[in-house]
Structure 1
């Protein structure tokens, strides 16, 4: 009897340890990664990596007047010249701190981080063209209907 209880305890402990527990922060990061796209190319500055996340569905579900993107440009010295949201035109570019960047769902310690904002666009998908180091990174995002976020 005692042996059975000890074995049952360790089996229960094993299954308890294998259970995954997602924190709300981890769940938000996982959801942000669903709205993330990247582009890479080689310029005279070397290899350049551009990673961007569409933040509206996760971070700003009630923001109906503008589209917000978090952008990382690596290496940090690469020039980030322009941002254009197809169908809307030029978007504003604002450099942000590393603390804000850590909430974007991805973090590259050697990158520069920006917040890109553009007027809202009624479309099912978005194309963001980012001018970096003389090249254009074309990033595509699926825009989920905001009505699906009724629970927030």
Structure 2
């Protein structure tokens, strides 16, 4: 790895950590925690807490496991019978990484005709799950630990 690769990797980790902090601050605010206490715990100003909380509420906070399970439930019907057990296994797992691997397996084996026949609601739910997959993949690539339980979808 070159020095520039190290810098890029560190920047990605910083971005993931900041995103996780913003999410945690917004969640604490949503839960009714005192703004001054949140600011002290996060090492930021009260103004930053207000700004981050309002930024997060501009999007839609989506629970990762719920969105992934919903997407997998749709995909299980769009893959061949030999793949259904593997895709369904993702829904029964509590490990987000397992769910993401099952999503990848399912997406690579989707029956194109079945996908085209999917109704608008199914497409919308699949689109949301796909956005969650993309955000979680970026978090994993940035070595986020722990992985966020929710993500913000704009």
- TM above 0.5: no
TM-score, normalization by structure 2 = 0.25
Higher relative contact order (CA 8 A, sep 6+): 2
TM-score, normalization by structure 1 = 0.25
